[in-house]
Amino acid sequence: MRKEVRCPTCRRLTPWDGNSYRPFCSERCKLRDLGNWASERYRVPGAPVDGAAADDPADDDETDLH
Protein backbone atom coordinates (compact mmCIF):
# COMPACT_ATOMS: atom_id res chain seq x y z
CA MET A 1 0.00 0.00 0.00
CA ARG A 2 1.33 3.42 -0.97
CA LYS A 3 1.19 5.99 1.82
CA GLU A 4 0.08 9.51 0.89
CA VAL A 5 -0.11 12.60 3.05
CA ARG A 6 -1.54 16.07 2.53
CA CYS A 7 0.94 18.84 1.81
CA PRO A 8 0.72 21.30 4.73
CA THR A 9 0.93 24.26 2.32
CA CYS A 10 -1.41 23.45 -0.60
CA ARG A 11 -3.27 20.44 0.90
CA ARG A 12 -2.61 18.29 -2.22
CA LEU A 13 -2.11 14.55 -1.68
CA THR A 14 1.53 13.64 -2.12
CA PRO A 15 3.45 10.36 -1.71
CA TRP A 16 5.45 9.93 1.47
CA ASP A 17 7.97 7.39 0.15
CA GLY A 18 10.48 8.71 -2.36
CA ASN A 19 9.48 12.35 -1.85
CA SER A 20 12.55 14.43 -1.08
CA TYR A 21 10.38 17.41 -0.08
CA ARG A 22 8.17 15.59 2.41
CA PRO A 23 5.92 16.45 4.09
CA PHE A 24 5.54 19.02 1.28
CA CYS A 25 4.61 18.11 -2.29
CA SER A 26 7.27 20.26 -3.95
CA GLU A 27 10.18 22.60 -3.42
CA ARG A 28 7.81 25.53 -4.05
CA CYS A 29 5.53 24.56 -1.15
CA LYS A 30 8.55 23.93 1.08
CA LEU A 31 9.93 27.41 0.33
CA ARG A 32 6.51 29.06 0.80
CA ASP A 33 6.35 27.51 4.28
CA LEU A 34 9.87 28.72 5.08
CA GLY A 35 8.91 32.22 3.90
CA ASN A 36 5.86 32.21 6.16
CA TRP A 37 8.08 31.41 9.15
CA ALA A 38 10.61 34.07 8.14
CA SER A 39 7.94 36.75 7.75
CA GLU A 40 6.44 35.76 11.13
CA ARG A 41 3.08 34.67 9.67
CA TYR A 42 3.51 31.58 11.82
CA ARG A 43 4.15 32.09 15.50
CA VAL A 44 4.69 29.80 18.44
CA PRO A 45 2.50 30.87 21.36
CA GLY A 46 4.27 32.05 24.45
CA ALA A 47 4.66 34.84 26.93
CA PRO A 48 5.44 38.29 25.47
CA VAL A 49 9.13 39.19 25.38
CA ASP A 50 10.22 42.45 26.99
CA GLY A 51 11.54 44.58 24.08
CA ALA A 52 14.25 46.24 26.20
CA ALA A 53 15.70 42.90 27.27
CA ALA A 54 15.64 41.56 23.70
CA ASP A 55 17.64 44.53 22.40
CA ASP A 56 20.30 44.50 25.14
CA PRO A 57 23.68 45.03 23.40
CA ALA A 58 25.45 43.35 26.32
CA ASP A 59 24.09 40.04 25.00
CA ASP A 60 25.74 40.49 21.58
CA ASP A 61 28.92 38.62 20.80
CA GLU A 62 31.56 41.29 20.20
CA THR A 63 34.29 38.90 19.10
CA ASP A 64 35.97 40.03 15.89
CA LEU A 65 36.20 37.04 13.59
CA HIS A 66 38.51 38.61 10.95
Residue 6 has phi, psi (to 5 degrees) of -90, 135
Res. 46: pLDDT tops 80: yes
Per DSSP, helices labelled H in the chain are: 27-38, 51-54
Residue type, 63: T
Q: How many CB atoms within 10 Å of residue 40?
A: 7
Res. 58: pLDDT tops 70: no
Question: What are the extents of the domains in the chain?
Answer: 1-34
Does the N-terminal peptide bond of residue 48 adopt cis geometry, omega within 30 degrees of 0?
Answer: no
**CATH number of the domain located at residue range(s) 1-34 in this protein:** 3.30.50.10
Q: What is the mean pLDDT of residues 36-50?
A: 88
Select the highest-mean-pLDDT range: 10-14, 41-45, 51-55.
10-14
